[in-house]
Structure 1
């Protein structure tokens, strides 16, 4: 660790108006597309409709994403490693959870023409999707890569190159969405494992975040060009911010688990009642 974070990071971010305009346009297009599809789902099948809470969740994710990519957070992230960690938390953990709980894939399946919906469904259940949606794969892409980023010169290299800088943002967002989807997403997933397995994977992620943040705070194995005070502040943000995000993810997992558990319990009772006939009823 050393004190040249501000110089390297500012150089990697760029200073043009496009750094504000492009993220803002992307977030608005994302939110607008979802609203259009949600309106189409409500009008094409009024009886089924589309849950308002899902729309609120997705728009909240878009809002969090916009906060992370626009001033004042973006300039703070460009000049201070603590700002980078705030941005990382928002892009990689909080925004993905809200976006995934909006069930965008289910919305697409409801609004696409039948032939395209079948193709999308086949893609989701294909072998590549099964491998990508495995909890261990999601854990490696979303959590294990953080060790590669902060314990090697990779982070410093991305800050000096705008293309890599934005690729890093994309990785945070996509890997975070993948992990949230695999653990607690309402959208269909190929061969989603049982809840205990997902809880174990989530526990491993919690432990990995805690370990990396403690190493960062102590300055062990970390290769980040930033003042010690900034690195220690970022470690605290990772530790406490990661815990809160993972607790929210665990709450989402429990919330999506209970209805399935109740249905499984209700099925044998319904079958037994049917077997006893009208007299038993």
Structure 2
């Protein structure tokens, strides 16, 4: 057994050398699978979807390019994971880190070029026409009507941002932002695919929102660490621990999330009744096996660390097995892109196609106020945020530190508001009514953020988290500090930008086609709700936030900042109430809920809600701001009094000395003798 790396005892780092050719062999096998699958399926696959056959070239090229894009994304994330999470400060800032950043940029180029080519190929494949039809005819028409092609446009644009960012800025923040941007782009290509079809697709889409990033982090961490060790790299003990924890947690989240996606796609059928279910079963078994093996590796590693500081026997082969299970999982996911879910073959209503569920039916007054269909995404985020916050409070109390109960209550109420405004009965039915939608908008944009910023989550995290040990990879505390002091945070908290987003988004969203886009697709509706929360949080963070903002403002500036926003809300509400054009009319007429037939009156109600719910919270914020201002002045006065009592404040003495000097300057001076007259007298 090899000596285990131990940052505390200074033991040598291990020489774990897995076979370097295995990742290349895995990638080749996946590309071969992508090449053979459309050849084996032939025209039957497209006929079952009522599409024309686009030809062998288009079908094969689309499948291969999609596989290459996924491999490029995972390889990019593998290098970014080493730089951000596993490699440590010496690796990230040294020549090896710069080389890893260049490799990440190179793989991002592969991902970006594949995404760029997929725009046309996906448009042709999804419409069942050869590629030359798309190129020679009106390309923009195909692009405008093919949502999947639009998602790959976003992926190509993200690659165009990531590549120069990795080459020009060698900072942790630039690499982390690149990682988040890449995961978001890959997630969007999934959300516009199979998970967006049929009844309950809202559950499947939200589950994919957790499963896809988790799968990407799991697969990329496996590839990154395997690659790093195969090239002769040596991870620290903390790096190994973090790799083990990330592997089994992310594999477990991917398992649960994709199980929910499979359940929705199977539409009640047994997994073995269709090729879709069988392939999904293989993927889930691979994820479960990887999660269990990673958890077992973590336990053995910790035991070896505690007992003899040795690498567990057979660790190299278990690492190879983890990579193999990850390859099986990724291959199954790629094969599912060419497999028809049973859900596709069922007839769905218009409301189910747009929303995933029906919103018809009468409700009592009390029924409208009760919890309704759960919004999986925001309910899960709320639960995680509350648990992490309470864990931080408990950590402080165990140390004997004090944390304000008011801040804790404010944080809990804020996430309770998020849950209610996304998962109540009227939130469930808000897609069918502009007035109900506006209630949710005001709650997520004006109420919940006020409560959340008063919770002071960043301050709590910085107090509860311990700094990383010297030489060890940076931890969450260092990550938060880096983000808070980054140029990106300075840019995002620029008062002019925050004001423009907070106020201008009302006009840009509701008086443009963006609103109907946000209501028509579940992923876009969730993104819109997320925008409401984030834009409101940034605005109120600057004004009344407990956490210190990257761009602090004086209280007089905060007051003017808040008062300046109030007229814009009133103007927007008046414009909505007086408009003769129904906002999102085509969408509402497509849903046609049986309880909302007068769209004009409903829009007038929405404008009234925007006026009342937009002005009242701002007035409350002004009162809270004035209270904070007064308390700040009182604290400053007490601080000066204490310094004066201790003899540390000499400002009063300096002031008295200045008055004395001015008094001496104005006092008449005694007359001086005339020296010339004296001289004449002497003569």
Common fold, TM-score beyond 0.5? yes
Q: Which moved more, 1:212-221 or 1:52-61?
A: 212-221
Q: How far apart in 2 are the matches of 1:217 and 1:11? A: 30
Contact 1:74 1:87 in 2 (8 A): yes
| Cα shift at 1:144 | 0.9
1:15 aligns with 2:377: no
Q: How far apart in 1 are the matches of 2:449 and 2:574? A: 24
1:262 aligns with 2:634: yes
1:80 aligns with 2:443: no
Q: How far apart in 2 are the matches of 1:9 and 1:261? A: 56
Match of 1:112 among 449, 460, 465: 465
Gaps in structure 1 of 5+ consecutive residues: 1-6
The correspondence of residues 47-58 of structure 1 with structure 2, limited to 5 A, is 48-58=401-411
The correspondence of residues 19-38 of structure 1 with structure 2, limited to 5 A, is 20-38=375-393
* Post-superposition CA distance 1:106-129 (Å, at most 9, x none): 111111122443442242122221
**1:219 corresponding residue in structure 2:** 579
Match of 2:512 among 152, 158, 161: 152
| Cα shift at 1:22 | 3.9
The correspondence of residues 223-234 of structure 1 with structure 2, limited to 5 A, is 223-225=583-585, 227-234=599-606
**1:4 corresponding residue in structure 2:** none
Q: Which moved more, 1:89-98 or 1:32-41?
A: 32-41
| Cα shift at 1:41 | 1.7
* Post-superposition CA distance 1:31-63 (Å, at most 9, x none): 22211111112112x1x3111111100000011
Change (3 A) 1:10 1:144: farther
Q: How far apart in 1 are the matches of 2:551 and 2:492? A: 11
**1:3 corresponding residue in structure 2:** none
The correspondence of residues 113-152 of structure 1 with structure 2, limited to 5 A, is 113-115=466-468, 116=475, 117-152=477-512
**2:421 corresponding residue in structure 1:** 68
| Displaced runs of 4 or more, over 6 A | 7-10
Corresponding residue SS for 1:140: helix
Q: How far apart in 1 are the matches of 2:351 and 2:568? A: 26
* Matched residues, number: 269
Contact 1:61 1:97 in 2 (8 A): yes
**1:195 corresponding residue in structure 2:** 555
* Post-superposition CA distance 1:152-185 (Å, at most 9, x none): 1110111111111110001001111111101110
Contact 1:213 1:236 in 2 (8 A): yes
Q: Which moved more, 1:190-199 or 1:143-152?
A: 190-199
Root-mean-square deviation over aligned CA pairs: 2.6
Corresponding residue SS for 1:169: helix
Q: How far apart in 1 are the matches of 2:412 and 2:601? A: 35
Corresponding residue SS for 2:552: coil
1:252 aligns with 2:624: yes
Gaps in structure 2 of 5+ consecutive residues: 1-348, 359-371, 469-474, 589-598, 654-683
Change (3 A) 1:113 1:271: closer
1:95 aligns with 2:467: no
| Cα shift at 1:245 | 1.1
Contact 1:135 1:183 in 2 (8 A): no
Contact 1:8 1:156 in 2 (8 A): no
| Cα shift at 1:132 | 1.3
Q: How far apart in 2 are the matches of 1:263 and 1:220? A: 53
Change (3 A) 1:271 1:215: same
**Greater RCO, 1 or 2 (C-alpha within 8 Å, sep 6+):** 1
* Post-superposition CA distance 1:45-96 (Å, at most 9, x none): x1x3111111100000011111101121222312111110010011111011
Change (3 A) 1:13 1:254: farther
| Cα shift at 1:265 | 3.4
